[in-house]
Amino acid sequence: MSTAHSKADKKDGGVREMIVVIVQALLIAVIFRTFLFQPFNIPSGSMMPSLLIGDYVFVSKFSYGYSKYSIPFAPDLFEGRILEDAPERGDIAVFRVPSDGDKDYIKRVIGLPGDKIQMKDAVLYINDEAVPKEFLDDVSMTRPDGSKLRSRRYVETLPNGVTHYTLDSPISAAGENTAVFTVPKGHYFMMGDNRDGSSDSRFGLGAVPLELFVGKAQIIFFSIEPPARARHIWRWPNDVRFDRLMNTL
């Protein structure tokens, strides 16, 4: 075999090997994203102060089992869920919007199937019982445009003992007083921790069927102060929120 042919064969072999490695990496990424963890970034302030604009979280796809919405592009392969496991009150969950199956929301599970949910004077009631809510302090949070939002921070304790922070604006808002909402079977009542800055089940969203759940938010793996984005590497030294990295949810 000539030297020219040997070099050509080695070059072809190298190209084939590179293609195989790339295909394998893509398959691993698809499997990881579909069955294990999917990354999401937080673009709005509806879950402040638990999740801030500029947080990046890993969502476990296996926590509630798998529906067609667990798969990229949500192909219509099957109905319902495989290996179904029910969300728990207090979970921070990613789900598809009932009116738009292509849009992802992230909220906290507040009401379980059969629960009666109501807001009265900015206090959450579950099955006619007021959820304990303790004032902590006044805080300043950052909006997407970089401006500041003044709000009151509380700690809320749900009936199963899960505690979490909530925000309430000093100014009265529409979601502070609602009618009683009974959660249908197989559905969940979702609310943002930023009670006066969240479009959730109190409004047009309604209760969310389990089939639309994508997964449970588990950990903040990256966080950067807006308006900076993760791709703005040159801004990392000043704008990365190092105190939030790897915080569990």
Identify the DSSP state of 240. B
Candidate ranges 80-84, 168-172, 208-212; pick with highest mean pLDDT: 208-212
- Asked if pLDDT for residue 1 goes beyond 50, the answer is no
Percent of the chain as helix, strand, coil, to the nearest 5: 20, 40, 40
Question: To 10 degrees, the CA torsion angle through 245, 62, 185, 111?
Answer: -20
- Asked if pLDDT for residue 186 goes beyond 70, the answer is yes
pLDDT digits (tens, 9 = 90+) for 96-106: 998 776 789 99
**pLDDT at 99 (0 to 100):** 79
In the set 107, 151, 198, 216, the catalytic residue is 107
The larger pLDDT score, comparing residue 11 to residue 153, is at 153
Find the mean pLDDT for residues 120-138. Answer: 95
Q: How many Å apart are CA 187 and CA 212, to the nearest integer? A: 10
Known active-site residue 61: no
**pLDDT at 20 (0 to 100):** 74
pLDDT band, very low/low/confident/very high, at 55 (cuts 50, 70, 90): very high
What residue ranges do the domains of the chain occupy? 37-248
b/e sequence 196-222, b meaning 16+ C-beta within 10 Å? bbbebbbeebbbbbbbbbbbbbeebeb
The answer to whether 208 and 201 have CB atoms below 8 angstroms apart is: yes
Q: What does CATH list as the number for 37-248?
A: 2.10.109.10
In the set 46, 70, 198, 201, the catalytic residue is 46
Q: Residues of the chain with pLDDT > 70: what percent?
A: 88
- Asked if pLDDT for residue 18 goes beyond 70, the answer is yes
pLDDT band, very low/low/confident/very high, at 73 (cuts 50, 70, 90): low
Known active-site residue 107: yes
**pLDDT at 58 (0 to 100):** 94
Backbone angles phi, psi at 203, to 5 degrees: -115, -135
